[in-house]
Amino acid sequence: MEQKKVTKINGPVIVATGEEDIAMHDMVYIGKNKLMGEVIKLEGKSATIQVYEDTSGMHIGEEVISTGGPLSLTLGPGLIGSVFDGIQRPLKAIEEKVGSFIQKGIQVNSLDENKKWHFVPSVSVGDLVQYNSILGTVKETESITHKILYPNFEEGKIIEISQEGEYSTNDIIAKIQSKDGKIHDITMVQKWAVRKQRPYKKRLQANIPLITGQRVIDSIFPITKGGTAAIPGGFGTGKTVLQHQLAKWCDADIIVYIGCGERGNEMTEVLEDFPKLTDPRTGRPLMERTILIANTSNMPVAARETSIYTGITIAEYYRDMGYQVAIMADSTSRWAEALREISGRLEEMPAEEGYPSYLPSRLSEFYGRAGRTLNNNGTEGSVTIIGAVSPQGSDFSEPVTQNTRRFVHVFWGLDRGLAYSRHYPAIDWMISYSEYVSNLENWYEKNVEEDFLEYRGKIIKLLNEENELQEIAKVVGQSVLSDSKKLILETSKCIREGFLQQNAKSEIDTYVPLLKQYKMMKLLIDVYELADELVEKGIPMSTIKQIGFFAEYSRIKNEKSNIEMAKIDELEEKYINELNNIEEEYKDFFKKG
């Protein structure tokens, strides 16, 4: 049968023609350099292939060799702490082999096949196992225990299991006989196609919050474990900084950080900073529970399109072990641009702003792989996806932002004005939302306080009222507003500067537990409501301001540590008493009057 050969080259898209049988989404090697590619279109004897590497120097007539299967990842011990490119080639191994620049056609093992791992079996000879049954464990890092999963869908019986000891990833650690009598040799690694979602037993309700320690997120616009969120914002609004903060402080077990099409210097900063960060949960390096996927804007565009699937597949693998995994995708706009470029070279009919018509379905497919699940091995795991979006000119009406909104349940819209005024996180409370609030009602009642969401609602109401009053004040001036309206403005200022704004560089304020967040909301709302009653009784706003509450509230976040929450209760008692004293003084005044 005639070998397929290159007949057309158009950047990262080539056409190969020949008699050889080849299937859709097969991975292939092209030419003398054996460049990796994937079949994305079949027409007669011709196959259209997207190439994951630079095609400069390629000639017409070079041979195309099919691997006979789709692009698949190697999943096993050694993923944690690694830095991969978009097609799971470890950058450190590439550097050791060829230096600082990635050579075309370079092939290295995704995982170190020489390293020995201490395997502890969890099953015995004669045990029945099914898909994702835990065969044993390996201490992957001090923070993460890697569970070796049975990869086959057919139920089988253990006929041989290795004793506790040191093994490499390619050593056979079990022999399992399926019902048809066939014996399967099982190693510590398995292969999985990147575009195929890993199955689970049951999808669970998203009703447990992903705690981030960021007040504007946890208290106002929360996300759940297994939830989806978008962080849209223009250049300089702090998308990457916010994702770094979430990666460090959120209570996920494992972080998968995907640098998809970001600037090289920005990704370099991530690669240099993450290994230096200390995990606040364990006191050990954060990289002991982090996987980085680096695919910068100067890397081949086809690999950028694939990097998203590489990240989500690795995340699902750890989810199946019972871990809570959080994906930081920065940024999905660059991924969509990769789709647009490949679509243009395929001469497909463009949709809005040149993006392919299938952009919504690809976004839906990606975010749809998030979720909290019950796995076949009895564990519960989750994949939470937090995707940054980079709309040009902060235009949230552009296609990527608008289509992303359709498929995520949390929207943290970043505002350039807030960012430039040093308000961090620059989440605009007027356009942001979370659809998980009702799901979390019972959790807040059981784990924080019964009236947590009641205070949250009052905070949001005051912010909305402030927005309306600011419009009026622009026309008539703030001085003509009634004292009750001035009280709303003063209280809302406290919400913005003392509650929503957070200092990532402060040891106290960089992470705030939920109970402290609740006490801060309760203090502000309880004092406001009593002050509002006094204003309604005729006590001037100027007198209420003299007690100094509004000035002190903005200092609480930096002065009251996370273990000094009782001091917040003392503050509330102090200012409630002072307001009651003012009321008593004015009772006498009104009587005399």
State mean pLDDT over 137-163: 94
> Is the pLDDT assigned to residue 415 strictly greater than 80?
yes
User: Measured between alpha carbons, how far is residue 500 from residues 272, 349, 449, 537, 562 in Å?
Assistant: 30, 45, 20, 30, 17
Specify the long-range contacts of residues 463-469, CB closer than 8 Å, at least 24 apart. Answer: 463/429, 463/430, 463/492, 463/495, 463/496, 464/430, 465/492, 466/492, 466/493, 467/430
Q: Give me the chain's average pLDDT, please.
A: 91
Q: What are the beta bridge partners of residue 380?
A: 374
**pLDDT band, residue 5 (cuts 50/70/90):** very high
User: Pairing state of beta strands 13-17 and 5-10?
Assistant: antiparallel
pLDDT in tens, 210-245: 999 999 999 999 999 999 999 999 888 989 889 989
**Which architecture characterizes domain 202-437 according to CATH?**
3-Layer(aba) Sandwich (3.40)
Answer yes or no: CATH 2.40.50.100 is held by domain 112-188: yes
Q: CB–CB of 442/452 below 8 Å?
A: no
**pLDDT band, residue 367 (cuts 50/70/90):** very high
What share of the chain in percent tops pLDDT 90?
70
User: Measured between alpha carbons, how far is residue 207 from residues 4, 68, 216, 223 in Å?
Assistant: 52, 42, 19, 9
> Is the pLDDT assigned to residue 121 strictly greater than 90?
yes
**Which architecture characterizes domain 452-592 according to CATH?**
Orthogonal Bundle (1.10)
Specify the long-range contacts of residues 399-404, CB closer than 8 Å, at least 24 apart. Answer: 399/336, 399/351, 399/352, 399/353, 399/355, 399/359, 400/332, 400/333, 400/336, 400/355, 400/359, 400/363, 401/230, 401/232, 403/359, 403/360, 403/363, 404/230, 404/232, 404/332, 404/363, 404/367
State mean pLDDT over 91-95: 86
**pLDDT band, residue 39 (cuts 50/70/90):** very high
pTM confidence score: 0.94
Q: How does DSSP assign 146-205, residue by residue? A: EEEEP--SS-EEEEEEPPSEEE-TTS--EEEEETTS-EEEE-S-EEEETTSPPP-SEEEP
The residue extents of the domains of the chain are 5-70, 112-188, 202-437, 452-592
List CB contacts of 550: < 8 A, sequence separation 6 or more: 490, 491, 493, 494
Phi and psi at 383, nearest 5°, equal -125, 115
Q: Provide the pLDDT for residue 58.
A: 92
> Is the pLDDT assigned to residue 264 strictly greater than 70?
no
H helices of 194-331, where? 215, 239-249, 264-273, 301-319
Q: Provide the pLDDT for residue 521.
A: 97
Q: Provide the pLDDT for residue 236.
A: 85
Question: Which of 86-90, 280-284, 355-359, 557-561 has the weakest average pLDDT?
Answer: 280-284
| DSSP state at residue 218 | I
Q: CB–CB of 167/116 below 8 Å?
A: yes
> Is the pLDDT assigned to residue 157 strictly greater than 60?
yes
> Is the pLDDT assigned to residue 133 strictly greater than 80?
yes
State mean pLDDT over 518-531: 96
Task: Describe the strand order of the beta sheet including 128-129 as a list of residue ranges.
Answer: 128-129, 156-161, 174-178, 183-186
Amino acid at 335: W
What share of the chain in percent tops pLDDT 70?
98
Q: Provide the pLDDT for residue 278.
A: 79
Give the tokens for residue 280: 């606040």
Q: Provide the pLDDT for residue 285.
A: 84
Q: CB–CB of 12/29 below 8 Å?
A: no
State mean pLDDT over 201-213: 96
Q: CB–CB of 186/397 below 8 Å?
A: no
Q: What is the CA radius of gyration of the chain?
A: 28
Q: Provide the pLDDT for residue 590.
A: 58
pLDDT in tens, 454-486: 999 999 999 999 999 988 877 777 777 899 999
Q: How far apart are CA 575 and CA 567, in angstroms?
A: 12
**Which architecture characterizes domain 5-70 according to CATH?**
Beta Barrel (2.40)
Give the tokens for residue 201: 């037993």
Task: Tally Cβ neighbours within 10 Å of residue 494.
Answer: 23
State mean pLDDT over 187-202: 95
> Is the pLDDT assigned to residue 35 strictly greater than 60?
yes
User: What is the CA 201 to chain-centroid distance, rounded?
Assistant: 23
State mean pLDDT over 543-569: 89
> Is the pLDDT assigned to residue 589 strictly greater than 70?
no
- Ranges 17-21, 240-244, 449-453, most confident: 449-453
Measured over the CA atoms of residue 91, residue 371, residue 340 and residue 333, the dihedral's sign is: negative
**pLDDT band, residue 591 (cuts 50/70/90):** low
State mean pLDDT over 332-359: 91
State mean pLDDT over 507-517: 93
- Residue 397, judged by CB atoms within 10 A of its CB (0-12, 13-18, 19+), counts as exposed
Q: CB–CB of 504/534 below 8 Å?
A: no
User: What is the CA 510 to chain-centroid distance, rounded?
Assistant: 19
List CB contacts of 546: < 8 A, sequence separation 6 or more: none
User: Measured between alpha carbons, how far is residue 68 from residues 42, 71, 82, 253, 424 in Å?
Assistant: 15, 10, 28, 36, 50
Q: Provide the pLDDT for residue 296.
A: 74
List CB contacts of 14: < 8 A, sequence separation 6 or more: 6, 8, 30, 37, 48, 49, 51, 55, 58
**pLDDT band, residue 208 (cuts 50/70/90):** very high
Closest listed residue to residue 220, CA positions, set 509, 495, 526? 495
pLDDT in tens, 239-257: 988 998 999 899 999 999 9
Q: Provide the pLDDT for residue 265.
A: 67
Task: Tally Cβ neighbours within 10 Å of residue 60.
Answer: 10
- Dump strand ranges (E) for 71-155: 72-75, 83-84, 117-121, 128-129, 134-139, 145-149
The structure tokens 């049968």 sit at: 1
The structure tokens 């990842």 sit at: 73
Q: Provide the pLDDT for residue 177.
A: 94
Task: Tally Cβ neighbours within 10 Å of residue 209.
Answer: 24
Phi and psi at 295, nearest 5°, equal -140, 85
Q: How far apart are CA 363 and CA 575, in angstroms?
A: 50
Higher-pLDDT residue of 264, 47:
47
> Is the pLDDT assigned to residue 588 strictly greater than 90?
no
State mean pLDDT over 116-121: 96
State mean pLDDT over 336-343: 91
Q: How far apart are CA 337 and CA 208, in angstroms?
A: 34
- Ranges 62-71, 217-226, 540-549, most confident: 217-226
The four Cα atoms 127, 131, 137, 140 give a dihedral, to 10 degrees, of: 170
